[in-house]
Amino acid sequence: MNDEVEVVCPACSPKIAVPHDVLKGGQNPVVQCQECENVHPAKIEKVKTFNVKVIISKGDESFTQTTLLTSEEDLMVEDEIIVDDGESDEVYPILITAIESGEKRLKKANASEISTIWGRAIDEVVVKIAVHRGKKTEPLHKRVPGGYEFVIGQEETVDKTKIRIKKIKIRDGTLESKTGIAIPAKFIKRIFAEEIVRKSWGDGKTQWSMKGKGRSW
């Protein structure tokens, strides 16, 4: 079985990383897009992880947790993230209110630069969804309660767009694709879906085109 990575595809998704199979590793890796099967070279960077302190305010109280971030993540004030504390096994959706890097406060920073995140606990999360539309992939977002479950193979409506969930990337790095698997929103990093396009009534047939086929009006 080939290794799997998420990188941009020059053919169908030049801005959003999508799942690829690694056909050739080493210094000059070659990958194949799982969406459009395009084969192309890719730059695969080794991901580093960081344990970052998070101070969460909830009502009139504040408490400290830690969360694991990767070198692929850029965060900014007003982002919504999931704080997954490995020691306490607690999960908190928060809205970032401040980012500290040493003695500086930044509006935006890579995980490698962050010493402390300040955030406000929220009851809802925003789930990122990469929607495959024909030969292109476009980003959508859906705000739901943290416990809301997305089911692979299930239909959802996002900003009046009908989609069918194909795969779900979980925050621990695993990628689920088996139909019927349900995952709570608070654990989801990204959903990969396809747009559902339903043909209109009659599939383009008119009153005149139906004549001669035993139809009366």
pLDDT on residue 22: 92
Identify the weakest region by mean pLDDT among 51-60, 67-76, 195-204.
195-204
Tell which residue, 72, 69, 5, has the closest CA to residue 33. 5
Tell which residue, 119, 127, 114, has the closest CA to residue 158. 127
Alpha helices per DSSP H over the chain: 207-210
Mean pLDDT over the full length of the chain: 86
SS3 97: strand
d(CA 119, CA 116): 10
Taking a C-beta distance cutoff of 8 angstroms, is the pair 194, 135 a contact? no
1 has a pLDDT exceeding 60:
no
pTM, entire model: 0.64
pLDDT on residue 126: 83
d(CA 170, CA 161): 23
SS3 159: coil
Number of Cα atoms under 13 Å in the Cβ half of residue 149: 8
Q: For 29, list phi and psi in degrees, rounded to 5.
A: -65, 150
Q: For 156, list phi and psi in degrees, rounded to 5.
A: -135, 160
Whose structure tokens read 């959508």? 140
Render pLDDT for 59-113 as a digit per residue (tens, 0 to 9). Answer: 788 999 998 888 888 999 989 888 877 666 677 888 899 999 999 999 999 999 9
31 has a pLDDT exceeding 90:
yes
